[in-house]
Amino acid sequence: MNSQLKSIGEIFSETWELYRQRAIPILLVILLTSCIVVVLICVFGIIIALGIGGLNTSANHFEIGGYGPLLSITVLISMLIVLILIFWSQAATIAVTLDNDLSVMDACKAGWQYLIPMGWVGTLYMGIVLTGMTLLIIPGVILGLSMSLCCYALFDDDLRGMDALLTSQCYIKGHWWNTLGKFFLIGLASMAVNLVPVIGQLLSFIFTPFLLLYMVVVYRDLKEAAGEVDLHAGPRWLWALMAAVGIVLPLLGLVGALVTLGPQLPGYLQQLEEGKIPGWERSCPYNTEQSSIDAGQGTHILVQARRT
């Protein structure tokens, strides 16, 4: 056990050494998995668009109930598949970042193995943070940072569910401000790279492995400093309750939105097909039809004046 954390200079130096060794495999995994996700999103989008047959046709079918549940089921299945692939992409990227011996294909296989555990950990994390954000925001910020390394605990320590979240919290406990400062610096560096003119996006892509490896170095430094931790010391029921509340809240919001906006959907689709944006007539300072009428009246007055 080492209670002394590494300095920011040591963190950057160690990250750079790892970057020189692992940047290419990490970039290949990111590129491969991202391409698969994007291609499937495009395929699903085309299939759904062809099934709808255009906005005008869609509005008519919604009005007469022509589509039935088939289109809704297709959209939901497509969204679910895309969400699963996004989790797989993230899991494969974290796996190849943490394990120096993984090849690109091995990382993709590991992504499938950790897909469900990572999805569950991510869901619990978002639920707890969302509940904390509803409590005057500050608790959400504190918990968001304290449990932000849960995915690294999942892969590096082979922990599951709430154990991964509590492990991250135990590691960061007592080093919250130190960790915040290190995350803030790497965030500024990432922002600066992204803002470079012309080639900013390319540099940001190349910088991504450095960012991921930086997080790994910080995580393992905190782990070494913390030593053995007791995951059962705190009120686990409270975290489970917060996670449940945070998971339910977005679902309730989605149901409320569907109930409220569902009957208005055909009208919105019809207006979009006709090139009319709801509310545009009220907010737009330049009304084409009225301007044409005013212009005609002005011309008529000018001609009368000249005749006089």
Per-residue model confidence (pLDDT) at position 263: 64
**Range 16-25 contact pairs with CB under 8 angstroms and sequence separation of 24 or more:** 16/210, 18/213, 18/216, 18/217, 19/209, 19/210, 19/213, 21/100, 22/96, 22/97, 22/100, 22/209, 22/213, 23/206, 23/209, 23/210, 25/96, 25/102, 25/103, 25/104, 25/107
The sign of the dihedral angle between the CA atoms of 289, 295, 299, 304 is positive
Report the candidate in 213, 220, 185, 214 with the shortest Cα–Cα distance to residue 93: 213
Residue 304 belongs to a domain: no
- DSSP class of residue 303 equals H
Q: How far apart are CA 228 and CA 50, in angstroms?
A: 57
Cβ-contact 98, 152 below 8 angstroms: yes
Q: How many domains does the chain have?
A: 1
Reported confidence tier of residue 59, pLDDT bands at 50, 70, 90 = very low
Answer whether residue 204 shows pLDDT above 50. Answer: yes
Q: How far apart are CA 179 and CA 197, in angstroms?
A: 30
Q: Range of 78's domain?
A: 8-273
Residue 97 belongs to a domain: yes
pLDDT per residue over 35-51, tens digit each? 988 888 888 777 766 76
Reported confidence tier of residue 179, pLDDT bands at 50, 70, 90 = very high
Per-residue model confidence (pLDDT) at position 70: 62
C-alpha 232: how far from chain center: 30
Residue 256 belongs to a domain: yes
Answer whether residue 305 shows pLDDT above 50. Answer: no
Reported confidence tier of residue 149, pLDDT bands at 50, 70, 90 = very high
Answer whether residue 300 shows pLDDT above 60. Answer: no
Residue 298 belongs to a domain: no
Mean pLDDT, the chain, rounded, equals 79
Q: Select the more confidently predicted residue: 40 or 177.
A: 177
Residue 86 belongs to a domain: yes
| Number of neighbouring beta carbons within 10 Å of residue 84 | 15
Q: Which helix H or strand E contains 182, and what residues bound it?
A: helix 176-194
pLDDT per residue over 253-284, tens digit each? 777 766 676 566 566 656 655 655 555 444 44
Kindly state the tokens that stand for 8.
């920011």
Per-residue model confidence (pLDDT) at position 283: 47
Residue 240 belongs to a domain: yes
Kindly state the tokens that stand for 270.
């019809």
Residue 105 belongs to a domain: yes
Residue 284 belongs to a domain: no
Per-residue model confidence (pLDDT) at position 209: 93
Q: Select the more confidently predicted residue: 198 or 269.
A: 198
| Plot region of 65 (φ>0 → left; ψ -120 to 50 → alpha; else → beta) | left
